[in-house]
Structure 1
Amino acid sequence: MSETTKKAASKVKDFTEPAKEFSGLVKENYLNGLDFSFSLFEQNFKALTAQADQILSLEKEFLTNVGEFYKDMPKDLPFAKDFQFDGGFKKISEQLDTYNSYRKEQLQSVKTTTEKLAKDAHAAARENVEKAFSLFGDYFKAFGA
């Protein structure tokens, strides 16, 4: 090897070694940041889910109380005789139960979809970071480092 080639190779190596180390640190920090943000999202989602469950239980309690109110209402009141739900208080209670089960299913659907979307996005982000930094590695290998 000629003297010029050796100097050029040492200059390339002097540049690529610190760049490799730096890119490794950047990759590690970036992945840690992704994991931290996903962890924050999971904690916030758990808190939001707990609040939604509490609201759902309060809503169920309210609907139960409303159903009992209409069930216990005297039948001889003028508006109770020709109530808009065929005059049947049992029908009102059934409709309130249907509404409550719909809300429960709706909340479960949102939870499932959000969890799946977040996990898929986190996995895709990690995969993209791995691919990007493997390209850096290939780039440094092209210089013979």
Structure 2
Amino acid sequence: DGLACVFAGLVGGPPVTTYSEVTGAVSLTKVTSPAVIRIAAVTGIVFSVFGKISALLKSIPASVLGGIMLLLFGTIASLGMSNLIQNKVDLSNTRNMIIVSLILTFGIGGAAFEWGNFSMSGIGLAALLGVILNLILPTKESKA
């Protein structure tokens, strides 16, 4: 992934990244074969080059795509929660609960931050919020 980002920058391409959708799709299908991932990548490239195939994909009703997205993004959120549980994050701790709830609310709820020409929303904003909250919220409860 890192080499792909470097190469894209060297040839003047846009920034590239992996997307959490892939993690969700792999989790749903349980297909982890690199060959299948390569075939999916080549298929995606072919679909984007040929307009007739793109038109066919655009004919899929929005409600069908919406249902797929609900399942996919719900799976991504579930994977995140599963990761917290597997790593034994104490969700009875108020600090941890605040961080997790705000990340989920900002990420899923479509919150956006804008300042002048700068804007951030979605997963990026949720991740940044999580890092900031993790740094600024006290780790030990103060005794008053």
Decide which structure has greater strand share.
Answer: 2
Decide which structure has greater helix share.
Answer: 1
Task: Return the TM-score normalized by structure 1.
Answer: 0.26
Task: Return the TM-score normalized by structure 2.
Answer: 0.26
Of structures 1 and 2, the one scoring higher in RCO (CA 8 A, sep 6+) is: 1
